[in-house]
Amino acid sequence: MMIVLTLAAIGLSGCWDSFDLQDIQYVTALGIDYDSEEDEYIIYAQSIDFSHLSVSQEGMSEVDSGAWVAEARGETILMALENFSSKSNQMLHWGHVNVLVYSMKALEHEPIIEINEGLYRFHQVRTTPWVFGTAESLEEILLLTNMYGDIVHTELFNPDTVYKERAFIEPITLHQLMRNYAEKGRIVVLPRVGINKKELKDNNNKKKDAMSSDGAILLKGDSEPKLFTDLQLAGLRWLNNQTENSPLQIEEDGKTIAALNIIRPKNRIHSEVINGEVFFDVHIDVHASLLDFPPDETLGASRTIKEILQLMEKMIEKQVRDTYLLGLNNEKDVYSLENQFYRSDVRSYNQMKQTFELTEASLRNITVRAVIEHTGEYEFYRDRVPKSEQQ
């Protein structure tokens, strides 16, 4: 009899506190906002009905995405998160949060390290979600779907896939953000997301909003966050060794000379202290594939490969310097040159860390060495490139 009762107890002990999946509400994304009038945080929580992901996407509409967004408020981040428990008639599970989106209002209210303090205390939220910033409605962004009505196959949940195809602003996770923020002299480049109104159209001529990614919000210490576009930060990609593919259009006198794809640029930065002032020399190696010449013979068709290389090197150099000067004018060290100096020569840095200051002259030399590895089909190469260069 004792053996039977013991076996029964063992059988019951393994599942007495289990729950069915349909009894749990899974939170997949969070938006963090701040209401200055009420002096409280607003948290938007996105939850998805995963049963929608297992069925055919054919014919799905925006209302079929199976997602909802709830709002909760609190004087602190932690209080706002705790207030969600009264808004759901099911158990909430926070371990599947894969996206965090911060509003500009929240970022301007206090440093992001203080905002994230509450998230770290809320133990169910991990440190691996993708992080973004925005100046638009968090509620609308968290409800955006792709063209097939799927809410999880968007750039919010898969930013690295888009980045590999078209590299401008590198996606980062929460733990990368906090690591970079804590490093001496390093700036945080927080990717920005937004909404393109009525950009997509279906075969019924119905239009819907689409997600956009353009630029980044630059964060450093207690200073005011600044928002810049992709065009303004064009030089940033050439000093990021994670860049795999990035487009570049060469223009001259307002006309397109050639379209290229830059492949895996590599950079080296050297610092030198002269009379108590730091100077930086940047060397960039780029490999490119030539995608197209314009058909007009007076434009790209008349250019030699050597001329295109010279124009490409000149344009990349200009983008790097323009982005640096833009950051300088907004009190932002876009390329984290202070961090580079600290890492490469910590003794000199410690001697002048109180007087360290970047000026227009600090970025002394920018050297670009470009190579065109692919020119397209053989006929294209033969027809457009002079015979002397073909050899």
- pLDDT averaged over 10-residue windows placed end to end, the chain, 391 residues: 51 52 78 95 87 49 66 92 77 87 95 88 86 95 82 86 86 93 92 84 76 91 90 95 90 82 94 93 93 60 76 95 96 95 93 89 96 66 55 51
Instruction: Please state the separation of Cα 172 from the chain's center in Å.
Output: 6
C-alpha distances (whole Å) from 50 to each of 92, 142, 158, 350 are 14, 16, 17, 53
Give all domains of the chain, ordered by start, each with its CATH number. 22-230 (no CATH), 237-391 (3.30.300.210)
3-state class (DSSP) for residue 139: helix
Instruction: Write out the DSSP string of 19-67.
Output: --GGGEEEEEEEEEEEETTTTEEEEEEEEE-GGGGGS--TT--GGGS-E
Contacts of 202 (CB under 8 A, 6+ apart): 147, 208
**pLDDT at residue 56, as a whole number:** 43
SS3 state of residue 231: coil
Q: What is the DSSP letter of 187?
A: P
Q: pTM for the full model? A: 0.85
Among 43, 51, 44, 47, smallest CA distance to 21 is for 51
DSSP string, 160-179: HHHHHHS-SS--EEHHHHHH
Tokens representing 369?
């060495």
pLDDT given for residue 378 in this prediction: 40
Contact 31, 141 (CB under 8 A): yes
**Within the chain, how many helices (H) and strands (E) appear?**
12, 14
Nearest of 246, 247, 231 to residue 164 by alpha carbon: 246
Distance between CA atoms of residues 234 and 186, nearest Å = 19
pLDDT of residue 376: 63
Q: Tell me how far apart the alpha carbons of residues 384 and 380 are, in angstroms, rounded to a whole number.
A: 6
Cβ of 40: how many Cβ atoms within 10 Å? 15
As a residue count, the chain comes to: 391
Instruction: Write down the pLDDT at residue 63.
Output: 46
**Alpha-carbon span 187 to 190, nearest angstrom:** 9
Per-residue model confidence (pLDDT) at position 387: 57
